[in-house]
Structure 1
Amino acid sequence: MNGDLVLPDIDEEKDEGDSLEVASANAKKVTISMQYWHSGSECISEWQRPELKKLAKLINKVQGFTEASLKADPGLGWKLHSGPAKGGGFSRPTYLSKDIELSELRVDGKSRVHGALIDDIFFLVWLDRGHAVFPQKKQ
């Protein structure tokens, strides 16, 4: 081989899985944006060093996922929210359309980040150290 790109013969029979592999290889990875950050909510300076390390770990991990794989990974705890946030500075920013669904990602057992996953971008809206924005319902 001399380093030239070799294309397969277009008449060559392909396995049905080939197109799926190409599609997943070309899928965009999720990025985190603070474009819709709500400054009236919890401040990042309230987080302790170990919590900040976990947040940084989550951000790095999320950026390795596609939108579909992020939603499917049980360790990230992604889920859509229904209804309004539970107060405490966590009101929906007026600049964020009501048509946009909010969701959460798990930082650790208690802490969450909330935002909107639109295509391959997670728009972070709130930090939530105490899982207070959309607390887990008691069963």
Structure 2
Amino acid sequence: MKKKKSSPGKENNERFIFEGTIVDPIKDIMFHVRLDHSNKIVMGYLSGKIRRNRIRVLLGDRVKILINEFDPEKGKIFYRFPPQSKKSQLKKIKNDHQAMENPTSTESTETANPIRKDSYKSTDQRNSSKDTTPNQD
């Protein structure tokens, strides 16, 4: 029996898998992807399973990309993360914005909230809430 020869590149096959965001769609299956860890932009193409299952990848989608070890400027997009809901996107943006404004602040969100607690009341309700005693004649 003959032994199968394995290619030397397959034994020590290191995979360079990164997460990124689609920045620019080029053609049908080609995209520019901005990597999360280094803000580097690489060209990615869709893998066969994504094409076969007709998974749409659009601008702004989060993806996993397998970078080619011989050409670090190219990679294969093999996974698209499910889209986030609008509420979770807004919550993340708000948290990032607050972190940028107060990086060392440890205040709770209630004390940092500029909106007064009684702002939902109309002006008539605010005026009537004062302690006024009716005239007793």
TM normalised by structure 1 equals 0.23
Structure with bigger strand share is 2
Which entry has the higher C-alpha Rg, 1 or 2? 2
Greater relative contact order structure (CA < 8 Å, 6+ sep): 1
TM normalised by structure 2 equals 0.23
